[in-house]
Amino acid sequence: MTTQPRYFDVIDATWPASNTQQIGGFLVRDGRDADGASGGKRVSAASQTGAQFDPADIDAVEAAQRAMDQTPLFMIRGGDTALDSALAARGYRVIDPVVLYGAPIDALVGDPPPKVSTFCIWGPLAIQRDIWAAGGIGPARMAIMERAGAPKTSILGRMKDHPAGTAFVAIHDGIAMVHAMEVLPEQRRQGWGRYAMRRAAIWAREHGATEMALLCVKDNTAANGLYSSIGMVPVGEYHYRSLEGGE
């Protein structure tokens, strides 16, 4: 499935690397925070920027990534078949195939969520940081949220008078992208994910967005089921290739 380039522009703008550099036919991302901790694959992978690439550029990208104490890692988008084959021949393996979902904002708004179930807050409260941390979203990823440009917000959730979950939302080019949705284990299967998406859509429409998007790894059956059930549809996909097994 070929993904429209504008979606990848939205990903980079709403979940930005700390620095980028162009090396030949590739954009190389540096996802480290101020303390040198990695912000994850999405802000650390190199991606092809042109229709063609020079195999020597791959060597240069690998050298740059190793200089950042990073395992060589590439994002393979729809249409990057030559790069995919070249990396496979070098011993890179596929990790984390991802589905990109999209939908018109108006299709997601619906009725407002129940009172006190969702709140839009920026900056995030300590309880949200705790929920994210419990899900593996620590300071390096929090730094990504801080780097993202406005408009942006976080969603705090409550169910049964207790914290339920949190998510991050930012807008670029009329598309609101939801990142880092985390629901506490004891609050799952209670419907909070639907409420969070509805609140995010309401906030995004109020801030001029006309479309909602998000990313989900293919093997997350529950999350993929949620997004499909609320009317979001696949609009693209990508996967990573890692030389030494990933981060």
Q: Where are the chain's structural domains?
A: 5-99, 102-233
CA distance 138 to 131: 10
State which amino acid sits at residue 65: Q
Contact 246, 65 (CB under 8 A): no
State which amino acid sits at residue 83: L
Fold classification of 102-233 is Aminopeptidase (3.40.630)
Helices of type H across the chain: 5-14, 55-67, 81-89, 105-109, 126-134, 139-147, 192-206, 221-229
* DSSP 8-state assignment for residue 31: -
pLDDT 10s per residue in the chain (247 long)? 666 789 999 999 999 999 999 999 999 999 999 999 999 999 999 999 988 899 999 999 999 999 999 999 999 998 899 999 999 999 999 999 999 999 999 999 988 899 889 999 999 999 999 999 999 999 999 999 999 999 999 999 998 889 999 999 999 999 999 999 999 988 788 788 999 999 999 999 999 999 999 999 999 998 999 999 999 999 999 999 999 754 3
CA distance 65 to 46: 9
Return the pLDDT at 247. 39
Return the pLDDT at 3. 65
Estimate the crossing angle of helix 126-134 against helix 139-147, to 10 degrees.
120
Q: pTM of the entire structure?
A: 0.93
Phi/psi of residue 179, each to 5°? Answer: -130, 160
Residue of 141, 159, 155 lying closest to 42 (CA atoms): 141
68: left (phi over 0), alpha (psi -120 to 50) or beta: alpha
Return the pLDDT at 88. 97
